């Protein structure tokens, strides 16, 4: 596929920072073309990616380092990353394009799983760059509480697959550092989730997009 893509923006942040909620809110008024890994109509394409994401969490995540390697996790993740890139390239309806995490979070998670500097990451980094990144910042303790006091946390959100608050907090701090390092060369707006409702988060994102799309 051609690397020619329309200008696009990315919403990024640690686990349970509120990305999905903000993107659903923005998507509802159709001001932006919101792209997530399994977005779109109920098609076989969407079902495939949804199954793949769920299998990565439920099958690979629970047996990482036992039945499955970090390289295997990276290989499966690549399918989702390429699918996101392809969706961006197809988004040509004239609306601003807003992407959930792009490849940045997936790359950080694969590195934390033990993939290190996998050769695949060099290819991902050649993908088109977003115009701007919105980083939703949240303290790990608050994210834990948002996730039902840990009830909604899974093994790929914690170190060593150990689902407890201490492991979750350490993992989220390491994840945040890797993601912030990965986007350090890009224009970034940080939105503090401690002081922001979904309405204010969406408004902050849309104000920057409107300004940059003039």
Q: What percent of the chain has pLDDT over 70?
A: 95
pLDDT value of residue 38? 66
pLDDT value of residue 70? 97
pLDDT value of residue 1? 45
pLDDT value of residue 45? 74
- Give the number of C-alpha atoms closer than 13 A to the C-alpha of residue 189, restricted to the C-beta side: 18
Query: Comparing 192 with 3, which gets the higher pLDDT?
Result: 192
pLDDT value of residue 102? 97
Is the pLDDT score of 42 beyond 80?
Answer: no
- Looking at the chain, list the stretches that DSSP marks H as alpha helix, in order from N- to C-terminal side: 19-28, 44-55, 70-90, 104-110, 119-124, 140-146, 165-182, 198-212
Q: Which residues of 17-53 are buried (b: 16+ CB within 10 A; e: fewer)?
A: bbbebbbebbbeeeebbbbbbbbeeeeeeeeebeebb
DSSP codes, 80-96: HHHHHHHHHHH--SSS-
């Amino acid at each position: 596929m051609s690397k020619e893509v329309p200008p696009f923006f990315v919403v990024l942040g640690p686990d349970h920072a509120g990305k999905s909620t903000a993107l659903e809110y923005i998507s509802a008024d159709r001001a932006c073309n919101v792209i997530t890994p399994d977005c779109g109509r109920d098609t076989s394409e969407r079902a495939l990616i949804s199954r793949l994401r769920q299998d990565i969490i439920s099958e690979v995540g629970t047996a990482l380092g036992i039945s499955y390697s970090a390289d295997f996790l990276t290989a499966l993740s690549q399918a989702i990353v390429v699918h996101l890139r392809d969706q961006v390239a197809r988004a040509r309806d004239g609306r601003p394009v807003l992407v959930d995490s792009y490849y940045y979070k997936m790359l950080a998670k694969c590195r934390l799983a033990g993939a290190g500097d996998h050769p695949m990451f060099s290819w991902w980094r050649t993908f088109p760059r977003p115009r701007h990144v919105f980083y939703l910042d949240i303290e790990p303790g608050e994210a834990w509480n948002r996730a039902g006091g840990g009830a909604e946390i899974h093994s790929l959100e914690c170190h060593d697959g150990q689902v407890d608050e201490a492991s979750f907090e350490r993992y989220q701090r390491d994840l945040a550092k890797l993601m912030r390092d990965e986007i350090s060369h890009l224009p970034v707006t940080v939105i503090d989730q401690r002081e922001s409702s979904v309405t204010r988060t969406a408004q902050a994102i849309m104000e920057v997009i409107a300004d940059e799309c003039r």
